[in-house]
Amino acid sequence: MVRPLIATLVLLAVVLAAPVRAQETPEPSPDNRDEALQRIEMLRLFRLTEVLELNEDEAARVFPVIRRYDRSYQDLQEKREQFMHELQLQLASGAPDRAALSRLVDEVLTQEREAMRVRNEEFKELKKILTPEQYAKYLIFDARFREDLNRLLDDIRRHRQQRRHPGAASPTPVSPTPTPPPQAAPAD
């Protein structure tokens, strides 16, 4: 019951932050993206307050921790995405530079390890502040919120892709090996 509510509220936050001129700007500007992220973060903290039943003092201790680690995590994810994009460009070039691929793979893995370290530090610090019940609820809430948000963002990306290329199949991730085309169903 909580998951659909979260998904609906996140969708509302994203839609409200999206540019009104969606047809003019297929991708949101950095300002609109930042505003959307702020609204999502406000929604997340509001829901977290409800789920954990935080009083004012608890919220004053918990929120700065979450915000600090979220900023670090987000910075790492942005770097990772840039390296992933560079990997895709290398693979799509037709003649990828093996040394560049190796370096980029190492960078992606470094970003992922660092992101895990940041998340672990956040969890350790929150465990010191929250009761065991609150901490358990936080872990469940955080995982579900991120899943719902990722699913929503995937839906938005698919919608944008379909709007840009009507009738085209949904985008698929870049695969290092080509996949065979689907076989046509036999006619009856």
* pLDDT, tens digit (0-9, with 9 covering 90-100), for 44-103: 999 999 999 999 999 999 999 999 998 999 899 999 999 999 999 999 998 999 999 999
pLDDT surpassing 90 at residue 32: no
d(CA 33, CA 65): 23
Q: Amino acid identity of 114?
A: E
Smallest Cα–Cα separation from 136: which of 57, 59, 51?
Answer: 51
**Per-residue pLDDT averaged across 30-40, rounded?**
79
| pTM of the complete model | 0.63
Domain ranges in the chain? 2-164
